[in-house]
Structure 1
C-alpha cells in the first residue's frame, strides 16, 4: 500500500513539475552560455529523467557533473545537453601514476557513454578545487600529471578534438597584493605549478575553470559591503582601478584572474565559471529573496552578453546548483545544503 501511494505521489509531483516548468519557460528555449551543476548528495534523489527535464525546461543547455554516475550519465544520453564530466580528487593519484589507468577511465566513463548512450561530453574536469589552501598541498603533485594523462587517453580514444580537458579551481588560487584586480597574480606557493597548467591549457586550446562565490566573500568578512555582492546597483561605493570601475565583487574577482593570466603571458586563455550561486537558507544572508536577486542579476548579464571591465567576452557560466542536497557536509555552514534553485523534491523555490 505504501509503495503504491509513493508511486502515485511521485506521479503527481512529476506532473506538477512539468506544468510549473512549462509555464516558467514556455517553449523550453535554451539560454546560450548558461549551464548548471547537478550535484547528487541527496538522501532521496529525484529520478534522473525528471532532473534532465528540469534542466532543459528551465533553459539550461549545459550541465556540470562531479563524477560519472551511471544512472546520471545514462539519463543524459541523447538529451541535447552538453556535459562537463568531473573526476573526484581521490582519483588524481592513480590517474597521475598510470597512463593505463587514465585510458581505462576514459574508456569506461567517456568513450562508453558517447558511443553507446549518445552523451554529449564536451569537457573532462580533472579534480575539484584541488589547490584549496585547506588541502595543505595534498593534490599539488598529482593534478597536472593526471590532466596530461587524461589528455593522452582522450587522444588515443580518438576524442582529442571533441572532448577538452580542464581543471575547476577555487578563486583562492589567485590574489592581489593591493586588493585591486590589476595587481592580480597566482598564489606564490603554486605559482610555478599554475604556470605549467595554464601553459598546457593555452597550447591545447583548453579552458581554465574557476569557481567564484560572492556569497562566501560576504559570509567570511563581517565588514564586507553587502551590496557589493550583487550585480544590481546598490549603496556601495565603486572601486576604481585605473581605467576600470568595479561595482560588484564578481567582476573584481574575475578580473583579478584575468590580470594574473595577462601578467604571466597567458591573456588569451579561455575562462569558464564552473560554479556560482547563492544559498537560500542556513545563514542570515542566505534567503530566497537574496538568491533571487543574485541569480536574476547573473542571468541579466548573460542575456545582455555582458563581460567584465577587463574582458568584454563573457564566460560560460554554470550555476550552483540545480537541486538542494540534503546529504552534503554542513562543516562550512548550514547553507551548504541549500544552494539549489529547487528544493530537495524538485519544487520551485
Structure 2
C-alpha cells in the first residue's frame, strides 16, 4: 500500500472515530432539582458518568451541584432563573458579580467544565403574558458583557432556552416558519446577539405537549417509527413532529438572515405518569426513537448532521408546579431514587441505563387508611385534600399508574405520599385518627406506594452540623476535664 493510500485509510479511520465521539457526545440531560428529597449531587454525578452522559443542563447555579461536577469532565450549561432576569438586566455590576461567583470561581477553583450560561428558561412562554419580554435581552446582553470582561467569552457561550411556541407557520408547513408576530423583534434581538458571539439558539421541543393540548393530534406523528402519514413540504416529506418543528425554526432563522445559526435542543422527552398518554411504554418508545433517529448523524431535512440535544429529564421532581399538568413531576428517565424506569440505550454503555449507587432509603413502612375507619367519616375529604396539597397525588388521575385504585387505595396513597415526604414522622400519619402505619407494602399492580430516600441537606447544612458536632465535642471535653479536677 502506497504512502498516500495509507494516509487516506488513516484519515478515514480518524474521521470515523471523530464521528463516533461526536455522535455519542451529542446527548445530554437536564438535571432539575425541584424535589422534596434530592439525590445527593455526588450520587447524581456518578450516575451521569456511569451512563456515559457527557453533558448536563442545570436550571440554576447551585454551589453543591456545580462543585460535585468539578473534575468530572462533564460539560455544563449553568442556568439563570427567570426571577433573576430583572436584576441582571438592570445592573451590569450584578451580572459581573453573578459571572464571577457562578462561572469564574467554579472554572478556576473547582475545575467545572462550564460551556454555556442559559439566561432564563422559556421566558417568552405565552402563559407568562409578556412578564419577561423587556428584561430577557438586557440580561443576556449584560451576562455576555460580563463574560467578555472576565476573559471567558471564547470558552463559555450564552444562550436563552426558548419554547417552540416562539415560532409558528401560517401554512402549517416548516417552510412557512417565522417568529411569532407579537414577539418577533424581541426574538431577533436575541438571535443577533447569539450570532454575533458565536453562540447557539436553544429550543425546547415537546411532541407530548402537542398531543396533550390537541385531542386531534395524530399520535403516530409524535414518534419516530415512520408509521404516520408524511407531511409533504414542497417535495420534502416529514414523518415525525420533531423534524417538522425543528425545521420550522430553521426556516424562521433563514428568513430573518440567520440561516447558519447553530441550534441546540435544550429539552426533549416524554413523561411517564400524570396523564393517559404519559406512560412507560410511550416514554420508552419516544426517547429510544429519538436516540436512534438522532445519534446516527442523519439530522433533519433542513439540517443534516448530528443533533445536539439534552433529554428532559434525568430525574423525577415531585415539587414541580403542576399548573401545566400532573405529568410535570414525571419527566425523568430515572425515578426520584435513581432507579431506571425502563430500558433505554443511550449508545454510551452496553447494559442500558445504570442505576444510582449508594442511595439510602427510609424504613420499609407506609402510612395507609386505617382498615376499620369509615369512608363516610367527615374528616376523610379534608385530610385527603391536605395530604395531596402538601404531598404528591399526580399518579391518581384517570388512566395513570394508580388510576385503578379503589377509594381506600386512593386515600392510602395520599396519606402515604404526605408521610414519606415528611420523612415518616409519626405525626405525619395521624390524619384525625384515620391512618395507621404498616410494614406490608400496599402497592397494587402498576401503582407503587413509594418509600422516600433519606433527605439530603446540602453542603451548608452539613457544614453546620459538623460545626455543631465539633462544638458539642469541645463542650463535652471541657465538662469532662472540669468534673475530674
- Using the size of structure 2 for normalisation, the TM-score is 0.65
Which residue of 120, 126, 130 corresponds with 1:137?
A: 130
Show CA shifts across 1:12-44 (max 9, x none). xxxxxxxxxxxxxxxxx9922100000001111
Which residue of 41, 48, 51 corresponds with 1:55?
A: 48
Equivalent pairs, count: 320
The reply on whether 1:187 has 2:180 as its aligned counterpart is yes
SS in structure 2 at match of 1:43: coil
Q: Which residue of 2 aligns with 1:317?
A: 309
SS in structure 2 at match of 1:75: helix
Kindly indicate which of the two structures has a greater share of residues assigned to strand.
1
Show CA shifts across 1:61-104 (max 9, x none). 00000000111111000111000011000111111111100000
Q: Which residue of 2 aligns with 1:277?
A: 269
Report deviation, 1:158: 1.2
Q: CA RMSD in A?
A: 1.2
In 1: Cα distance, 2:241 partner to 2:168 partner: 13
In 1: Cα distance, 2:102 partner to 2:47 partner: 24
Which residue of 332, 340, 343 corresponds with 2:335?
A: 343
Report deviation, 1:310: 1.1
Which residue of 44, 67, 80 corresponds with 1:74?
A: 67
Q: Which residue of 2 aligns with 1:267?
A: 259
Larger radius of gyration: 2
Cα gap change, 1:314 to 1:243, in 2 (>3 Å): farther
Q: Which residue of 1 aligns with 2:240?
A: 248
Which residue of 164, 168, 172 corresponds with 2:165?
A: 172
In 1: Cα distance, 2:203 partner to 2:288 partner: 21
For the 8 Å contact 2:295–2:307, the answer to whether it is kept is: no
Unaligned runs of 5+ in 1: 1-28
- Using the size of structure 1 for normalisation, the TM-score is 0.90
The reply on whether 1:121 has 2:107 as its aligned counterpart is no
Q: Which residue of 1 aligns with 2:39?
A: 46
Moved over 6 A (4+): none
Q: Which residue of 2 aligns with 1:302?
A: 294
172-181 or 324-333, which deviates more: 324-333
For the 8 Å contact 2:28–2:53, the answer to whether it is kept is: yes
In 1: Cα distance, 2:144 partner to 2:328 partner: 33
